[in-house]
Amino acid sequence: MPDEDAELQEIRMKMLREMMRKGETNMAGNIIELTDDTFEEALKKYPKLVVDCWAPWCAPCRMIAPIIDKLSEKYSGQIQFAKLNTDQNQKTAMQNGIMSIPTLLIYRDGKLVDRVIGALPEPLLEKSIIKNLL
């Protein structure tokens, strides 16, 4: 079984690398995956952008992922949601001062207007997003 687990993990990582190599790719709802190469372009492209900074090993990141999915569907067409894997995009994480994850970066017209750190409950995450973007 350990060999099968390692093989599955390698397949998952290969698929993730391929998705990230292509740059901006669709995730659940209207969530896009950002990389070091696509981050600045996304800031210019989307007037209202929420970036979920996460890592695959981060349990709190996995806890808020369904909340981010739900909010991306609720505000589809109004706010663009994105994910940034901080392990694979360390340059962008460092440039944005990401010291702990999960961290949500909230941008309006390319400018950082708020930062939400930690796995907060849905109402608090939504409130932070709404007050800054709607």
Residue 36 CA to residue 114 CA, distance in Å, equals 20
| 53 has catalytic annotation | no
Structure tokens at 7: 């093989």
Pairing assessment for the beta strands 80-85 and 48-54 based on DSSP bridges: parallel
Residues 32 and 26 sit within 8 Å (Cβ to Cβ): yes
Spatial CA neighbour of 16 closest among 93, 102, 83, 92: 83
Spatial CA neighbour of 88 closest among 28, 12, 30: 12
Task: Please tell me which residue in 34, 61, 82, 98 is annotated as part of the active site.
Answer: 61
Q: Across the chain, which distance is largest between two alpha carbons, in Å?
A: 49
Task: Please tell me which residue in 58, 65, 125, 129 is annotated as part of the active site.
Answer: 58
Q: Give the sign of the dihedral formed by CA 55, CA 111, CA 131, CA 45.
A: negative
Residues forming the active site: 58, 61
